[in-house]
């Protein structure tokens, strides 16, 4: 279980130019930020106020492809997350970029995943 279990998501921001996603989260009086650097792509579901984090789990990169195969096949014609001719080409690009597959689960509200170079959880004072 991560150090953000039961934290409420107060706000999150996506900075496309800096390739970052920052979640401001809180639990009672404690505040933290979850910062994703070098974001390649992401997908969030069930976005709603008062979302409560259950866990942030890093899964093997191969799981990204098996868990999102249908999405990747559909999105290929829209050049998402990048232009690619085959899933094999996309897999090679992602593996070469040394990206990490982070899955965010909530006990209430927002769920999703992020492919990024790294993630950091910091305490905000």
pLDDT at 2: 63
Q: Which residues touch 84 (CB under 8 Å, ≥6 apart)?
A: 76, 90, 93
CB 54 within 8 A of CB 107: yes
Average pLDDT score, the chain: 94
CB 111 within 8 A of CB 43: no
CB 75 within 8 A of CB 31: no
pLDDT at 1: 42
Residue keyed to tokens 């996603």: 21
Peptide bond into 81 cis (omega under 30): yes
* pLDDT tens digits, one per residue of 44-101: 999 999 999 999 999 999 999 999 999 998 988 888 898 888 889 999 999 999 999 9
Residue keyed to tokens 């990204």: 64
* pLDDT tens digits, one per residue of 5-24: 999 999 999 999 999 999 99
Residues 50 and 38: their CA atoms lie apart, in Å, by: 27
Percentage, residues of the chain above pLDDT 90: 84
pLDDT at 83: 85
pLDDT at 77: 87
């Amino acid at each position: 279980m991560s150090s953000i279990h039961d934290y409420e998501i107060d706000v999150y921001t996506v900075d496309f130019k800096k390739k970052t996603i920052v979640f401001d989260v809180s639990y009672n009086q404690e505040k933290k930020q979850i910062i994703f650097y070098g974001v390649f792509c992401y997908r969030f579901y069930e976005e709603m106020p008062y979302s409560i984090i259950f866990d942030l789990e890093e899964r093997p990169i191969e799981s990204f492809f098996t868990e999102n195969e249908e999405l990747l096949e559909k999105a290929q014609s829209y050049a998402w997350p990048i232009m690619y001719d085959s899933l094999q080409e996309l897999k090679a690009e992602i593996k070469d970029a040394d990206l990490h597959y982070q899955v965010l689960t909530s006990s209430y509200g927002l769920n999703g995943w992020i492919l990024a170079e790294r993630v950091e959880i910091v305490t905000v004072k």
